[in-house]
Amino acid sequence: MEKAYIARQEILDRNDKVVAYELLFRDHSHGIKDFPTNLKATSQVVMNTLTNLKIEDLIPKNTKAYINADETVLTSGIIDILDKNIFVLEILETADLNEKVIKKIVQYHKSGFEMAIDDFDCSAEMIKKFTPILKYISLIKVDVISASPENLKNIIPKLKKLGKKVLAEKVETEEEYDLYMKLGFDLFQGYYLSKPEVIEVNIHKEATHIVILKLISLLKEDAETSRVEKFVRSRPDLSFKLIKYLNNQNQFESEIDSITQVLTLMGRERLMRWLLMYMYAEVATSPISEGVLLVAQKRAEQMEEAAPHHMRDKAYLAGMFSMMDILFQTDIKELMSHVKMDKDIVNLVTTKTGRFAGSLEVIEKKEKEYLKKIVCEHFNELKIEDILYALEFAGVKLDI
């Protein structure tokens, strides 16, 4: 079984009680070999936390999880799939606080996310940098190694007067801990208190195409929105792709802040069609998935057009499903066994019988005529092995 890794470090209050954990990127059991971009590191932390672990096993009840967020993370859409009651956004000291980023910070603050500033050194430069967003911040994580003793004494009381909690991070000795207690710090983190604990994660994700087929099945069952939302939320990779898709659509001006909003904006039929496109374009195992997608789309559109009005959506879905076996290079009956689907669709894709069989037969003849024309026009450009592969796949015996 494939392994992944994540680390967590305790954050304690003044009574030595663990109130939160910072979640940290790791790429092997002993630490970090190659640190990727902040977005990739945070994405991996989030995906492992939500997909491969029970959240309560990693983050005990009544504690919080701090995750790093720079400008790319804040504007990526990945935060939209997180639970605001568990996750705290730790804005990195290096973050570029441009207009777009500040707008996102305001949005996440309004939606209920708690936010912190990381590695704050109490310098005039850093105070100036973070002043525009200070009212949206509830906690300041102070880098006690980088901050001068004089700045600590002057700035900590001022931050507390503003109603901000202050956390002393990188506490490495008992003497330091005692000093920061006297200075009035609320929370503490560092090697003196606890080292990051590396957790090994077993990756046992269900195949993505099966997950998508199950979601399509839910939509076809006309399941309650709460059931659909729960299913989508349980797959952060899918949630993230959906949010990114919506963010790239100019017709949707509102900021996305929940999976419910995604489902409302897209509607069920549009969501179902997007899922099919996603499956063909990004989840397919076939080396010719792009060509399969083009043929499947055209086939689905023609079947939709030929069907009675009340059957059009079903006909479109049947057309798209009719090429699943080629797409995933698997037995279509085995694939369909994972989902509950309309019998007209099942009959067509498994045995080419039923309500849509005649329509599919007509369309397949047109497809073959078109492909025959294309192959003849480009025959000299084709490789012998490609032709042999196609003939063998079709069960045609050679007699040269």
Q: Of all residues in the chain, what percent are helix, strand and coil, respectively (each to 5)?
A: 55, 15, 30
Is pLDDT larger for residue 376 or for residue 261?
Answer: 376
- pLDDT greater than 60 at residue 34: no
- Please give the single-letter amino acid code of residue 146: S
Lowest average pLDDT, out of 33-37, 49-53, 129-133, 161-165, goes to 33-37
258 part of a folded domain: yes
96 part of a folded domain: yes
- pLDDT greater than 60 at residue 299: yes
Residues 290, 284: contact at Cβ < 8 Å? no
Residues 91, 69: contact at Cβ < 8 Å? yes
38 and 16 within one domain: yes
169 and 21 within one domain: yes
| Mean pLDDT of all residues belonging to the chain | 84
pLDDT for the residue 257: 62
Residues 56, 63: contact at Cβ < 8 Å? no
298 and 275 within one domain: yes
Mean pLDDT of 112-133: 95
374 part of a folded domain: no
Residue 31: other Cβ atoms inside 10 A: 13
| Pairwise CA distance, residues 56 & 83, whole Å | 13
φ, ψ of residue 189 in degrees (nearest 5): -150, 135
pLDDT for the residue 225: 83
- The region, left, alpha or beta by phi > 0 then psi within -120 to 50, assigned to residue 363 is alpha
281 token code pair: 């374009």
Highest mean pLDDT among 145-149, 273-277, 335-339, 384-388: 145-149
pTM for this structure?
A: 0.64
Instruction: Give residue 272's pLDDT band: very low, low, confident or very high (50, 70, 90).
Output: confident
| pLDDT per position as a tens digit, 213-249 | 888 888 888 888 888 887 887 776 677 777 767 766 5
365 part of a folded domain: no
| Pairwise CA distance, residues 296 & 306, whole Å | 15
Mean pLDDT of 307-324: 89
- Please give the single-letter amino acid code of residue 258: S
183 and 252 within one domain: no
286 and 157 within one domain: no
φ, ψ of residue 252 in degrees (nearest 5): -100, 100
- pLDDT greater than 80 at residue 258: no
111 and 28 within one domain: yes
Highest mean pLDDT among 28-37, 369-378, 383-392: 369-378
- pLDDT greater than 90 at residue 395: no
187 and 49 within one domain: yes
| Pairwise CA distance, residues 176 & 265, whole Å | 52
pLDDT for the residue 325: 83
- pLDDT greater than 90 at residue 140: yes
High-pLDDT (> 90) share of the chain, %:
40
- pLDDT greater than 90 at residue 96: yes
pLDDT for the residue 206: 57
Residue found by looking up tokens 């804040």 in the block: 74
Show which of 340, 356, 372 is a domain's final residue. 356
| pLDDT per position as a tens digit, 42-67 | 766 776 666 556 677 788 889 999 99
Show which of 154, 172, 202 is a domain's final residue. 202
Residue found by looking up tokens 């195992």 in the block: 285
379 part of a folded domain: no
234 token code pair: 């349980």
Cα atoms found within 13 Å of the Cα of residue 126, Cβ hemisphere only = 20
CATH number of the domain within which 105 lies:
3.20.20.450
Number of structural domains (the chain) is: 2
Residue-range definition of the domain harbouring residue 317: 208-356
222 and 172 within one domain: no
| pLDDT per position as a tens digit, 146-199 | 999 999 999 999 999 999 999 999 999 999 999 999 999 999 999 999 999 888
pLDDT for the residue 35: 53
227 and 133 within one domain: no
Lowest average pLDDT, out of 75-89, 114-128, 223-237, 254-268, goes to 254-268
Strand partners, 5: 26, 200
23 part of a folded domain: yes
72 token code pair: 């790319």
Highest mean pLDDT among 220-229, 256-265, 376-385: 376-385
295 and 175 within one domain: no
